[in-house]
A and B are shown apart, each in its own frame.
Chain A
């Protein structure tokens, strides 16, 4: 990795005994502990409702842990508020299942959202990005092959293109950790592979720590190096992804493997 010097250093992520209980009483996570080393590519596997989304959101504070500790690089995320929280989030990129682009805004300004934590309120409000911000946004778009579409409105793009723009938005942050919440669940199989390889490329080339939620076992095996299994909010598996057997997956899912657990059977 000596050649892939990164703009920003890659950070570890650590959860110690984290539990999340929602106001309605749902226990989404129960006593989860794990440590992800800088530069790892980790998949978090589980059925819907197993706590994957909650887990990934406790890492950037979109969901606050009810108890336990979450640390990302130098930041202790639990209880972080206001400016410090936004600063921490500025170092953590995130992409979403539903892309979460502003549909009526052009690609360029959608990507600039990634500079929120790093730019002055004045510039943002007047819509005048600094030269660095502009440069970062264009480069990020170029790296996912979307520079062509920089002036298109987000609603004119296909699903795969939208997710690429969303990746560019996260990259524009110059993140130290990248989170992905079911990034391919709304995409067709070829596009899903494209997006997953983009994530792997970012991980390999920049040495960026990547955590990706995924419910499809074949994608987890193929693209990630380490796999974490969640069932009913508890950590039930932690090991190398490629070596995970069907039996391991059945244990994570808590039921026999079905066709819909694999991408290839859905084409």
Chain B
């Protein structure tokens, strides 16, 4: 019995294309490592040289100073207050903005695109950049922090919820239109209750993020526990820094648990 020669079809796949993709990837990565054009210097030697420093710091961080805890209560409370107020403010303002930014709830493409563009610009500004500029504008304190969180949350909520509304099914809106309703009435009576779970989900998510962000806002002077953190670090009081980080961890996880409980009830 002779073995028949197998005719193998040519292997598909675009070798040229694949190698181009890999080449582009390598080129981009190399370009990011050239300090002369702004790339970063991969100073691995410094790790070998100074790892002991880091290990020392980690060791100090492993010994939190629990006696410092009482001094953290007030700033931590301020952090939580800022997170909550920013999130609630954004939640209220996000409702009309989101309905403006979604196609089914705003058939007017001009106003829809205006809102979307503003939100996209807002989203392109990192949170702490807002805080830095706002601190310079209105002075150190909780106010720039709250405004930062508010703007940051608006960006997230409006984008995510309006996209979710865009992709959902909207038969009920046709019924409202057939009954002679204005867009405003249709939105209020049907679209809003219908998308409330989407909103609630993002509201809670933005509250979680706020606790995390407001913990560091103080570093640029925008109030909360971050200010204390930065101050203790400047004094090289690593045992105090450690207890603050630990506290932030605990609070962030607690808020996450709380928000998951609420989410299960609301959504």
Q: Decide if A and B touch, CB cutoff 8 A.
A: yes
Give A residues with C-beta under 8 Å from B: 60, 62, 85-90, 92-94, 96, 98-105, 109-110, 112-117, 121, 124-125, 127, 166, 169-170, 173, 179
- A121's partner among B172, B185, B190 (CB-CB below 8 A) is B185
Q: Are A116 and B186 within 8 A (Cβ)?
A: yes
Q: Which residues on A sit within 8 Å (CB–CB) of B180?
A: 85-90, 116-117, 173
Given contacts A104-B193, A109-B189, A116-B185, contact A96 B171 (CB under 8 A): yes
Q: Which residues on B sit within 8 Å (CB–CB) of A169?
A: 175, 179
Other A-B contacts than A104-B194, A125-B188, 4 sampled, CB-CB below 8 A, are A94-B178, A102-B190, A110-B172, A170-B179
Give A49 to B251 CA distance when docked, in angstroms. 59
Given contacts A116-B185, A125-B184, contact A60 B193 (CB under 8 A): no
B50 within 8 A of A: no
Q: Which residues on B sit within 8 Å (CB–CB) of A173?
A: 179-180
Q: Are B189 and A121 within 8 A (Cβ)?
A: no
A90 (CB) vs chain B CBs: closest residue:
B180
B177 within 8 A of A: yes
B64 within 8 A of A: no
Enumerate 30 A-B pairs (CB-CB under 8 Å) in ascending A order: A62-B174, A62-B177, A88-B180, A94-B179, A96-B174, A99-B171, A100-B172, A100-B174, A101-B172, A101-B175, A102-B189, A102-B190, A102-B194, A104-B193, A112-B189, A113-B175, A113-B179, A113-B186, A113-B189, A114-B179, A115-B179, A116-B176, A116-B182, A121-B182, A121-B185, A124-B185, A125-B184, A125-B188, A166-B175, A169-B175
Give A98 to B170 CA distance when docked, in angstroms. 11
Q: Which residues on A sit within 8 Å (CB–CB) of B172?
A: 100-103, 110, 113
- A102's partner among B178, B182, B193, B197 (CB-CB below 8 A) is B193
Q: Are A117 and B190 within 8 A (Cβ)?
A: no
Q: Are A105 and B178 within 8 A (Cβ)?
A: no
Give the residues from 116 to 147 in chain B that come closer than 8 angstroms, CB to CB, to chain A: none
B181 within 8 A of A: yes
Q: How far is the CB of B69 from chain A (nearest CB, A)?
A: 45
Q: Which residues on B sit within 8 Å (CB–CB) of A103?
A: 172, 194
Majority DSSP secondary structure for residues of B touching A: helix
Q: How far is the CB of B196 from chain A (nearest CB, A)?
A: 7
Given contacts A104-B196, A104-B197, contact A60 B190 (CB under 8 A): no
Q: Which residues on B sit within 8 Å (CB–CB) of A113?
A: 172, 175-176, 179, 181, 186, 189-190
Q: Are A117 and B179 within 8 A (Cβ)?
A: yes
Q: Which residues on B sit within 8 Å (CB–CB) of A114?
A: 179
Q: Which residues on A sit within 8 Å (CB–CB) of B185?
A: 116, 121, 124-125
- A116's partner among B171, B179, B194 (CB-CB below 8 A) is B179
Q: Are B176 and A105 within 8 A (Cβ)?
A: no
Q: How far is the CB of A120 from chain B (nearest CB, A)?
A: 10
Q: How far is the CB of A239 from chain B (nearest CB, A)?
A: 28
Q: Which residues on B sit within 8 Å (CB–CB) of A62?
A: 174, 177-178
Q: Which residues on A sit within 8 Å (CB–CB) of B196?
A: 104
- B177's partner among A88, A89, A104, A105 (CB-CB below 8 A) is A89
- A117's partner among B174, B181, B189 (CB-CB below 8 A) is B181
Q: Which residues on A sit within 8 Å (CB–CB) of B194?
A: 102-105
Q: Are B171 and A98 within 8 A (Cβ)?
A: yes
Q: Which residues on B sit within 8 Å (CB–CB) of A105?
A: 189-190, 193-194
Q: Which residues on B sit within 8 Å (CB–CB) of A100?
A: 171-172, 174-175
Q: Are B171 and A86 within 8 A (Cβ)?
A: no
Q: How far is the CB of B174 from chain A (nearest CB, A)?
A: 6
Give A116 to B191 CA distance when docked, in angstroms. 14
Q: How far is the CB of B38 from chain A (nearest CB, A)?
A: 48
Q: Which residues on B sit within 8 Å (CB–CB) of A179?
A: 178
1/0 per residue B150-187: CB within 8 Å of A?
00000000000000000000011011111111101110
Among B182, B190, B191, B194, which residue has the most Cβ atoms of chain A within 10 A? B190
Among B186, B188, B193, which residue has the most Cβ atoms of chain A within 10 A? B193
Q: Which residues on A sit within 8 Å (CB–CB) of B197?
A: 104
Q: Which residues on B sit within 8 Å (CB–CB) of A116?
A: 176, 179-182, 185-186, 189
- A86's partner among B175, B182, B188, B190 (CB-CB below 8 A) is B182
Q: Which residues on B sit within 8 Å (CB–CB) of A110?
A: 172, 190
Q: Which residues on A sit within 8 Å (CB–CB) of B182?
A: 86, 116, 121
Q: How far is the CB of B182 from chain A (nearest CB, A)?
A: 7
Given contacts A62-B174, A104-B197, A105-B194, contact A89 B189 (CB under 8 A): no
Q: How far is the CB of A142 from chain B (nearest CB, A)?
A: 19
Give A117 to B184 CA distance when docked, in angstroms. 12
Q: Are A89 and B178 within 8 A (Cβ)?
A: yes
